[in-house]
């Protein structure tokens, strides 16, 4: 049973007794002008300047409101959690004057990590034909494929909205025969085709770049902005792709002295002339006594030795120029230098003539 009361008398030092099992309800604001005690222990909560983290504390004579000194109770840690390093993250020499306990503990157990930012790029630009071909060759089709990477924000710390440094592509840009231009696309790869391409001497080059949309704001592991969002732009430098056009040199044992392009191209050996100075091996066999070398325009024989006859010099003689068509024999004509060596009888076994051009 609940019993209420209403009284205004001066109670002085008198006592009143509340019935067991009853409830005493005080409404409004109750002020104690004297000393509040609990079973004789004084409770003094009148200290001014109290703030968050203060607690009722026994000072040896009474209970007072005072700043918490920690221990089993006291102020709780309210910083970032969980820890992400071994305790000891507060570097020597750090000025912690004025820091709160929470700030100090957080500095000890929490460190800030930063993402690695990788810019977008063209990661590959490929074609599907043999890289080196004879000049004048007509290549039926060359299929080019450019592949774009948006780069990365790694790791992607919250609230970073995307793991990619850039947005999607919007244009693929090419230079080079037949495909030069800009091609709108939001896909991560793009293909273009060249048809009936005539191989030129040296590098036959195409390039690719990609224009892309801007990216998101990166954040560090503490959730703070890191660096800046990448603005829209174009990959750099251009990604090149080259096919190489070369002259062929023709050489080997021959029953006749060639007099036309077809007979030169019918010689048993051929190789690309990759520079002014090239070293190659003519295999004589053991049947014929005539050996012929046809070199591309302006190339000459500098030295020739028989590796299987104690490096004896081989006197190849220049016998004039001869017209040789490139592109497999159906292309443009070029003036080749023709050399010949004749011996008295066939070798008993194959000999290797090492020839150096100039």
Strands (E) located in 96-255: 116-118, 121-126, 132-134, 138-149, 152-154, 169-175, 181-184, 189-198, 202-212, 233-234, 239-253
Question: Residue 171 to residues 204, 207, 216, 233, 342: CA-CA distances in angstroms?
Answer: 23, 14, 20, 10, 63
Average pLDDT, the chain: 90
Q: Where are the domains of the chain?
A: 116-237, 248-357
* Per-residue model confidence (pLDDT) at position 132: 98
Q: Can you give the pLDDT at residue 10?
A: 59
Mean pLDDT to the nearest integer, 118-127: 98
By percentage, how much of the chain surpasses pLDDT 90? 69
- Per-residue pLDDT, averaged over 277-287, amounts to 98
Q: How far apart are CA 41 and CA 189, in angstroms?
A: 81
The arithmetic mean of pLDDT across residues 214-232, rounded, is 97
Answer whether 151's CB lies under 8 Å from 135's CB: no
Residue 203 has pLDDT above 60, yes or no: yes
pLDDT digits (tens, 9 = 90+) for 152-164: 999 999 999 999 9
pLDDT grade, residue 181 (50/70/90)? very high
Low-confidence winner among 20-34, 168-182, 195-209, 299-313 (lowest mean pLDDT): 20-34
For residue 102, pLDDT over 60 is answered with yes
Contact 273, 295 (CB under 8 A): yes
Assign 12 a pLDDT band (cuts: 50, 70, 90).
Answer: low
Q: Which of these ranges, 80-84, 163-167, 240-244, has the smallest mean pLDDT?
A: 80-84
Task: Give the model confidence (pLDDT) of 26-55 as tens digits.
Answer: 677 766 666 777 777 888 776 666 776 677
Does pLDDT of 5 surpass 70?
no
Q: Taking 70 as the threshold, does the pLDDT of residue 74 lie above it? A: no
pLDDT at 124 over 70: yes
Residue 186 pLDDT greater than 60, yes or no: yes
- pLDDT value at position 282? 98
pLDDT of residue 225: 98
pLDDT at 69: 58
- The CA distance from 116 to 226, in Å, is 10
- Kindly tell me if the per-residue pLDDT of 71 is higher than 60: no
Residue 60 has pLDDT above 70, yes or no: yes
Query: pLDDT category, 72, cuts 50, 70, 90?
Result: very low
SS3 172: strand
Average pLDDT estimate for 193-216: 98
Average pLDDT over residues 201-225: 97
Comparing 217 with 10, the larger pLDDT belongs to 217
Q: What is the dihedral of CA 78, 83, 87, 93, to 10 degrees?
A: -60
Report the pLDDT value the prediction gives residue 348, as an integer from 0 to 100. 98
pLDDT for residue 88 is more than 80: no
Q: How many Å apart are CA 234 and CA 121, to the nearest integer?
A: 9
Lowest-confidence segment of 33-37, 45-49, 130-134, 337-341 by average pLDDT: 45-49
| Least confidently predicted of 6-15, 123-132, 301-310 | 6-15
């Amino acid at each position: 049973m609940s019993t209420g009361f209403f009284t205004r008398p001066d109670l002085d030092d008198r006592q009143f007794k509340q019935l067991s099992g009853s409830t005493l309800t005080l409404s409004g604001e109750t002020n104690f002008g004297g000393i509040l005690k609990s079973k004789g222990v004084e409770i003094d909560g009148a200290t001014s300047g109290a703030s968050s983290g203060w607690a009722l504390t026994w000072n040896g004579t009474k209970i007072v409101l005072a700043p918490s000194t920690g221990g089993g109770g006291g102020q709780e840690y309210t910083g970032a959690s969980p820890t992400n390093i071994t305790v000891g993250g507060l570097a020597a020499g750090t000025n912690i004057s004025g820091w709160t306990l929470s700030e100090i503990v957080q500095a000890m157990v929490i460190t800030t990590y930063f993402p690695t930012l990788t810019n977008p790029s063209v990661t590959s630009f490929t074609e599907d034909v043999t890289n080196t071909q004879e000049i004048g060759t007509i290549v039926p089709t060359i299929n080019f494929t450019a592949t774009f990477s948006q780069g990365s924000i790694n790791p992607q710390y919250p609230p970073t909205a995307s793991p990619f440094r850039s947005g999607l592509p919007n244009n693929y840009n090419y230079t080079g025969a037949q495909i030069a231009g800009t091609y709108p696309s939001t896909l991560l790869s793009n293909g273009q085709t060249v048809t009936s391409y005539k191989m030129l001497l040296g590098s036959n080059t195409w390039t690719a770049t990609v224009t892309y949309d801007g990216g998101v704001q990166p954040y560090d592991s503490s959730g703070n902005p890191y660096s800046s969002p990448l603005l829209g732009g174009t990959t750099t430098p251009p990604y090149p792709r080259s096919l190489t056009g070369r002259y062929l040199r023709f050489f080997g044992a021959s029953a006749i002295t060639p007099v036309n392009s077809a007979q030169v191209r019918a010689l048993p050996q051929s190789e690309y002339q990759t520079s002014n100075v090239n070293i190659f091996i003519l295999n004589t066999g053991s049947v014929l006594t005539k050996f012929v070398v046809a070199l591309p325009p302006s190339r000459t024989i500098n030295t020739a030795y028989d590796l299987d006859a104690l490096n004896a010099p081989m006197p190849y003689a220049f016998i004039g120029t001869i017209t040789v068509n490139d592109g497999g024999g159906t292309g443009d004509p070029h003036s080749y230098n023709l050399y010949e060596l004749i011996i008295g009888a066939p070798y008993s076994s194959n000999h290797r003539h090492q020839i150096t051009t100039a």
